[in-house]
Amino acid sequence: MLQTVLSPGAVGESRAQAELFLQAYRLMLQARVLDDKFASIYRAGKIHGGVFLGRGQEALSVASGLALRTGDIFAPCIRDQAGRLAFGEPILDAVRTYFGSTLGPMRGRDGNIHRGRPKEGLLAMISHLGAMISVVNGMLLSRRMQKREGSVGLACIGDGGMSTGAAHEALNQAGVEKLPLVVVVADNQFAYSTPTERQFACETLVDRADAYGLTGHSADGTNLEDCLKVVGQAVEKARAGKGPQLVVAKLLRLCGHGEHDDANYISAKLKNAPEHRDCLQVAEERILSERWSTPDELERWRKDAQRKTDDAVSTVQREPTPDPFAEKWQALATENLSEAGETPEPGPMDI
Amino acid sequence: MLQTVLSPGAVGESRAQAELFLQAYRLMLQARVLDDKFASIYRAGKIHGGVFLGRGQEALSVASGLALRTGDIFAPCIRDQAGRLAFGEPILDAVRTYFGSTLGPMRGRDGNIHRGRPKEGLLAMISHLGAMISVVNGMLLSRRMQKREGSVGLACIGDGGMSTGAAHEALNQAGVEKLPLVVVVADNQFAYSTPTERQFACETLVDRADAYGLTGHSADGTNLEDCLKVVGQAVEKARAGKGPQLVVAKLLRLCGHGEHDDANYISAKLKNAPEHRDCLQVAEERILSERWSTPDELERWRKDAQRKTDDAVSTVQREPTPDPFAEKWQALATENLSEAGETPEPGPMDI
Amino acid sequence: MSITYLEAIREAQAKALAQDPRVFIYGQDVGAFGGAFKATKNLAKEFPGRVLDAPISEDAMAGLAIGAAIEGMRPIIEMQFADFSTVAFNQIVNQAATLYWRTNVPCPITVRLPCGGTSGSGPFHSQTMEALYAHYPGVVVMTPATVADAYSMLLEAVAIDDPVIFCEHKFLYYHLKADSLPTEALPVGKARIARVGRDMTIVAYSAMVHEALAAAEELKSEGWEAEVVDLRSVKPLDTDTVVASVARTGRLLCVGEDFPWGGVTAEVIARVTSEGFGLLDAPPQRLNAKDTPVPYHPNLWLAHRPSARTIADAARKILRQ
Amino acid sequence: MSITYLEAIREAQAKALAQDPRVFIYGQDVGAFGGAFKATKNLAKEFPGRVLDAPISEDAMAGLAIGAAIEGMRPIIEMQFADFSTVAFNQIVNQAATLYWRTNVPCPITVRLPCGGTSGSGPFHSQTMEALYAHYPGVVVMTPATVADAYSMLLEAVAIDDPVIFCEHKFLYYHLKADSLPTEALPVGKARIARVGRDMTIVAYSAMVHEALAAAEELKSEGWEAEVVDLRSVKPLDTDTVVASVARTGRLLCVGEDFPWGGVTAEVIARVTSEGFGLLDAPPQRLNAKDTPVPYHPNLWLAHRPSARTIADAARKILRQ
Ligand SMILES: Cc1ncc(C[n+]2csc(CCOP(=O)(O)OP(=O)(O)O)c2C)c(N)n1
Ligand SMILES: Cc1ncc(C[n+]2csc(CCOP(=O)(O)OP(=O)(O)O)c2C)c(N)n1
Ligand SMILES: [Mg+2]
Ligand SMILES: [Mg+2]
C-alpha cells in the first residue's frame, strides 16, 4: 500500500503523506498518553464510574478524525480518544468530563466518553449503541435542505454495535437518502467479552455495505497508513456525492472493555498474533525505518504529550465540581414549562 | 424452471409436482375467494376495523405454507391468507377473528390478521413489523435445547418490514445460532404507499442474505411453480441443517394496503406491466395449458371455495360476540397476582 | 366553514411550514400519500422537498429528527400510530429528552402520535401513550381535546425549544368539528375549565373530556353541577387550576383512557392530595381503562375504556359521600 | 457464611437451572464471562449449553425469550443495564405482556434488569424502570430490597407463568449482605413491614427501603417512630398492607428513586387516598428523584435521588402537621 501512497516521482505528495503520518502519529501518541493517565487515575480510585480506553485502536480512530474538516460532523464511540483529538476536541474536554468539572462541556452531568459539543459538529454519544448514526443522518439531511452542502458526517461504531436495530435502521436510512455519511466500524473482535462468532455470522461486516446500498471498504486497523488511506478515500467519496460509505477495520483492543476488566477472555495466542501488533508501535517503527523522524524527536513528542496531559489534569483538579445547590435542576430548555416543587431539596454532599 | 421440476423421464416426480401445483392452486383460490368475501363484507360496513388482503401474493404465500409440515412453525404476515390455509389454519379461524366471535382463537380480543394458535406452531402476529422473527428463533432454539430437532420455522415479512431494527436483530440472531429459519420476503414494491426506492437502496433485498450469513434465494412471486420450488428448496435446506435461509420474491400487491385504500399511488403502468400478472390467473392458465385439469373442474373448485366461505360466514354470524360482563378482564395467567378493583364496571354496549 | 380536529392538525402543519423554513415533516407515507389519516394531505405538493416519506424505521426517524434539531431545524415526525412509537422510545426518552440537559443544545422536535382507541382497532392501534412519555424528564406532553387546541397547541409544539410529544386522539379526528380555527389560545401548561360546576371536579384530557362533559350533562338532569377540567397538557400538568377547582367543589374524579397503573390520574390525585388535602370533602377517585390490552371487538372496547355512563356512575358515588 | 444481594441472584439462578430443565439464561456476556456484574458467574460451566451469550440485540433477546416460553421453556434474560431494556421495550410490553391475554398461551419469561443509581454511572446506567413496565397490563414487576427477597423472588419470578420484570438494584449488589439464604418467603404480591412504628408510614421499595430505614433511625432519636413498608413488588402492589399501616399511623410518605411524574409513589398515594382517605391525619407526601436525567457526578447524583436525610426532612414536615 505504501507504494501507492508514497509513489516515487510524487515527491510533493509523498512529503505531504509523510507529514500527515507524523501528525497522525503525534495525535495517537497524545491519545495513548492521555488514556494511560486516565487508567492510572482510575487505579488510584479518583475517577467516578468507568474508564474506557482506545488502546490499540488509535490508528483507525485518528484516521477518522483527520479525514474530517472544520464544519464536518463527527460521532465518536467509546474508543475514539485519538479521533476526538484529531477532530479538534481539547484535551481539557476529556479531563473535565472524567472529573465532572463544571467547566467541561458536560458540567458533571454526564461523564467519561459521553461528551461532545454538538453545535461544533462533535456529537455527545448516549450509551445505547447504534443510536448516534441516525442523528448524524438528520444533521446531514438538514444541511442539504438548508443548502449547506459539502460537509461529511462520520460515525464510529464497534462490531457489537452493528447488531443493534438502531444501527440497521440508520444505515438503511442513509442509503435511501444518499447522505454523505461515513460509518467506520472498529471490528476489534470482541464486544465486551463476546467474540464476533457470537455476534454475527457474515464473513466480515463489510458484507453489510451491499445490504444498504453503501460502498464498502476494508482496512487494516493496525496499520496507520492503511487507515489514513482507506478512511480518507471513503470520506472523499462521501464528500464528492458518491453516497454513504462503510469502512470496516480489523484490529484487537489492547485493554479491557473498561479499566475494571482484565480481558482474560482474550487468549494469549490472539494477543500475541503478529496481525494484532500495537498500531502505535507499528507506526513508530515505520517512522524510524523511513527516517521521517528520529528517536529523540519521538521522545520529545512523548514528553510533550505527557506534559499536556499532566497540565490538563492538574488544571482540572483545581476546578470546581458541581454544587447541587447551584445546579439548575431542569431538563427543559423552556423554563416556564418546567415543573417545580415536586423534588426534594439537595441531600448531603458526602458519598 | 418447468424443465427442472417436471423433467422428462421423471414421470412419477412430475405427477407429484403437478399434484402439488393443483393443491396449491386450490388453496390460492380458496384464499382469494375468502379475501373477496371479506372485502365485500367490509364494504357493507359489517367488519370492525380494517381488512387486509393477500391479492396477488397467494403464490408466494401458499408456497410458504405448503413447504411446512405438521410440527413446523409458521409466522405469517398480513397478506398470508393462502399460506395460513396451506399450513392448516381453519377458514373458521379467519372468519371468527374478523367478526370477533368468542369461539375464535382470539375471542374478540384481537382482530383480522392478528390471529394464530401458537401452541400449534401458528404464531399470532403483533402489529409491530419485524417483531415475530426473533420469536420464531426462540422457538427453534428451544427445540434444539429440548432435542426436538427436525422442524423448521418460516416467517413472512414485507419489503417495508425489512427496514425495522427488529427484523435486523432477528436475522442476525438466526445467523449466529444457525437456526433452521426461513424468512420469506414478499417484495411487493410498496409499503403502504411508500415505494421501495424510499425504503432501501440495495439492488434487491436478497443482498441482505450475505450480511447475516444466510443463504439467499430469489423467486418470481407471480409464478407459482417458481415459488413452490424456491421456497421448497429453502425449507429443505433449513431442515437439512444448512442454516437460515432468506427468500425474496418480487410481485405486486393487487389491492390496496387495506380495503380502505384504493392504491391510487400505484401507477397504471406498473399495474399493467406483464411481470405483474395475477399469480392466480397465471397458475390457472398453466393448469389448462398443461391439461392438468379442465375449465369445468376449476369452476367446481371455485364454487366449492365459495360454498366453504359462505358456510363459514353464515356459521360465524350466528355465533356469540363477546359479552363484557362475562369477559375476564385479566391480562395475567396467574390469577392471584392480578390486580382487581381499579377498573370500572362495563359500560353501555351500544357503539 | 366547518373544520375537523384532523383538518386542524393539517392546517397547523401547513401554517408551520409556511411561516418557518426550519420546519419539515418526516414519517411513513406522509408525502404524496398525505399520511395514513391524511393529516399531511397535499402538504408535500404545497411544500416541495419538506414532507418526506420515511422507511419503516421509527428509531431512525426519531434519531434523524434529533439531528435535524441540532442543525437548527424544527422537524415534525408522524408516527403512523402512537403504538409504534415504542420502537422509537429509546431515541425519544434517552436521546431527545436528555440532549438539552446534557449538552445545552435544545432539541425542538415534535412527535405526532395518533393515539387512543377507536372501535375495531385492537391492542396495537389504540394505545394512549401520554403517561409513558410524561414519566421522563425533558419532554412536554400535549393532549389536545378540542379542534382549537389541536391547532394552536400543534403550532406551539413546533415553536417550543424542547421535544414535544403531541398526542392527537384518533377518535376525535373526524367527529369533532369547529366553525373556525382559533386566533388565540391559552398558554401551554394551563388547564381549561371546560364546564363550570359547584358540586364536584372531573379532571380529564383528550377524548375523555367529551365523555366527562356528557357525564356532566347526565348529572345535571339529576341536579348535580359537575365542573370539568381539561388538562390540555399532562406535562407540565396544571396543578394550580385543578386544586383551585377542587377548592370550589370539594370533590374530585380523575378520568383517563390509559391503563390504570400510574399515569395521569394517579399523578393528579397525588398532587391534589399532597397540595390540597384539606380541600377534599370526599376521597378522590379515578377511572381508567381496564388493566388489559385494548380489545378489538366493540363490545369489549366500549367496556374497556371509561365512558360517559361509567364516569357518571363514578361521579354519583362521590357525590353521595 | 455471608452472602451478598448479587450472590443471592446468582444462587437463585443456579438453583433454578438445577431444579428445572426448562430454565436457561440468555444475555450479553452472561456465558463464560459470567455477566457484566458477575451475576451468572460459573453458570455456563456448571450448566453447559444453558447460559448463552447474546448479540447486542435487546429486541431480539426479548423476542427469543418469548418464543422459548411458547415452547415451554422458562428463559431468564439479563439486560446488561436496565437502561438498555428501552430497546427491548416493544417486545416486552406489546408481545410478551399481551401473549396470554391474546392467545391463551402463557409467557413465563423473567427479564432481569440491573437497575438504579450508583455513583458515577450517569444518565444511561442508572435508571430505575419499574414504573415504565408496571404501567402496562400483563406483567409482574418485582423490586426486591433484601438479600432474602433477591433470592426467593427471583426463584418465584422463574416459576410464575407470566412475564416478570425483575428489578435488581445495582447499589445493593455488593453492599447488602445476609448470613444465609432464606428457606421461606412472603408470597409475591405481599408487602413487608420492614420496621414497625406508630407515628407515620414510610412506603419504599428496592434501595430506598434502606434509606427509609436509616431515616427512621434518625427520626427515632427525635422521638418519632416511623413504620417502614417495603412494597417488594410494585405490580401487583399490596394496597391492603399499605392502607393497614396508614390506618395505624395516620400519616404517609412514599419514597421512590424513579423520576417524579407518575410512577410508584403517585400510584400508592392515589390508592391510599381513594381507599383510605379517612385514615389520613395529614396530607400524604412523596419523595422522588428530581425531574432531570440521573447525573454523573456524585455531588449531583446524591442530590438527585432521595436519601436518608431528605426522607427524614420530608417525614418531619409530615409529623409536625
Ligand atoms: C443497546 C446497548 N446494549 C448494551 C450495551 C452495553 N455495552 C456497552 S459497550 C458494549 C460492547 C460494545 O462492543 P462493540 O460495539 O464491539 O465496541 P467495543 O467495546 O468493542 O469497542 C456493550 C454490550 C449498550 N451500551 N447499548
Ligand atoms: C413498526 C411498525 N411501524 C409502522 C407500522 C404500520 N404499518 C403497517 S403495515 C405497513 C406497511 C408494510 O409494508 P410491507 O412490510 O412492505 O408489507 P406489505 O403491506 O407491502 O405487505 C405499515 C407502515 C407497523 N405495523 N409497524
Ligand atoms: Mg468490539
Ligand atoms: Mg410491501
In this prediction, residue C143 carries a pLDDT of 98
Helix C263-276 and helix C239-249, axial crossing angle in degrees, nearest 10: 60
Report which protein residue has its CA nearest ligand 1's atom 9.
A192
The CB of C302 under 6 Å from ligand 2? The reply is no
The pLDDT value given to residue A347: 42
Q: Which residue of B has its CA nearest to D74?
A: B142
Residue A342 confidence class, pLDDT cut points 50, 70, 90: very low
At A7 the pLDDT is 41
Residues B72-89 have a mean pLDDT of 98
- CB within 8 Å of chain B, chain A residues 152-171: 163-166, 168-169
* Pocket lining for ligand 1, CB < 6 angstroms: A 78-79, 127-129, 158-161, 164, 186, 188, 190-192, 253, 257; D 28, 56, 58, 80, 84, 87
Q: For residue A13, name the pLDDT band (cuts at 50, 70, 90).
A: confident
Q: Confirm or reject contact between A160 and chain D (CB < 8 A).
A: yes
Say how far apart CA A143 and CA A247 lie, in whole Å.
23
pLDDT value, residue C1? 73
Q: What's at B144, amino acid-wise? A: R
Give C120-135 pLDDT, tens digit per residue.
Answer: 999 999 999 999 999 9
pLDDT at D87: 98
ipTM score over 0.90, yes or no: yes
Contacts of D104 in chain C (CB under 8 A): none
Using 50, 70 and 90 to split pLDDT, how confident is the model at D19? very high
User: Ligand 2 pocket, B257 CB below 6 A?
Assistant: yes
Instruction: State percent of chain D over pLDDT 70.
Output: 100
What are the structural domain ranges in chain C? 3-178, 192-319
Residue B90 has pLDDT above 50, yes or no: yes
Mutation target for B interface from D84, D95, D102, D239: give the one with most B CBs within 10 A.
D102
Q: What tens digit of pLDDT does each residue of B101-116 get? A: 999 999 999 999 999 9
Q: Are the C-beta atoms of residues C190 and C149 closer than 8 Å to each other?
A: no
Q: What is the pLDDT at residue A340?
A: 65
Domain assignments of chain A as residue spans, ordered by start: 2-320
pLDDT, tens only, A195-254: 999 999 999 999 999 999 999 999 999 999 999 999 999 999 999 999 999 999 999 999
Q: What pLDDT, on a 0 to 100 scale, did the predictor assign at position B339? A: 86
CATH of domain B2-320: 3.40.50.970
Q: Give the CATH H-level superfamily of domain D3-178.
A: Thiamin diphosphate (ThDP)-binding fold, Pyr/PP domains (3.40.50.970)
Does the beta carbon of B204 lie under 8 angstroms from any beta carbon of chain A?
Answer: no
pLDDT band at B7 (very low <50, low <70, confident <90, very high): very low
Nearest Cα residue in chain B from D95? B126
pLDDT digits (tens, 9 = 90+) for A250-292: 999 999 999 999 999 999 999 999 899 999 999 999 999 999 9
User: Is pLDDT above 60 for D99?
Assistant: yes
* Residue B305 CA, ligand 4 centroid: distance in Å: 27
Q: C125 an active-site residue?
A: yes
Window D:165-194, CB contacts with C under 8 Å: none
Nearest chain C residue to B266, by CA: C33
pLDDT of residue B78: 97
Chain B residues touching residue A181 (CB < 8 angstroms): none
The mean predicted confidence, pLDDT, of chain A is 93
Partner-chain contact B201 A212, CB within 8 Å: yes
The answer on pLDDT for A343 being more than 50 is no
Query: Is pLDDT above 60 for B342?
Result: no
Distance (Å, rounded) from C-alpha D108 to C-alpha D276? 34
Q: What kind of architecture, by CATH, is found in domain D192-319? A: 3-Layer(aba) Sandwich (3.40)
> Considering chain C, what percentage of its residues have pLDDT values greater than 90?
99
Residues in chain A within 8 Å Cβ distance of B166: 165
Contact A211 B202 (CB under 8 A): yes
CA of A164 to the centre of ligand 2 (A): 20
Q: Tell me if B165 and A163 make a contact (CB, 8 A cut-off).
A: no
User: Pick from A200, A323, A331: which is nearest to D299 by CB?
Assistant: A323
Query: Per the confidence metrics, is the pTM higher than 0.90?
Result: yes
Residue B11: its pLDDT value, please?
A: 60
SS3 of chain A: the string is: CHHHHCCCCCHHHHHHHHHHHHHHHHHHHHHHHHHHHHHHHHHCCCCCCCCCCCCCCHHHHHHHHHHCCCCCEEECCCCCHHHHHHHCCCHHHHHHHHHCCCCCCCCCCCCCCCCCEHHHCECCCCCCCCCCHHHHHHHHHHHHHCCCCCCCEEEEEECCHHHCHHHHHHHHHHHHHCCCEEEEEEECCEECCEEHHHCCCCCCCCHHHHHHCCEEEEEECCCHHHHHHHHHHHHHHHHCCCCCEEEEEECCCCCCCCCCCCCCCCCHHHHHCHHHCCHHHHHHHHHHHCCCCCHHHHHHHHHHHHHHHHHHHHHHHCCCCCCCCCCCCCCCCCHHHCCCCCCCCCCCCCC
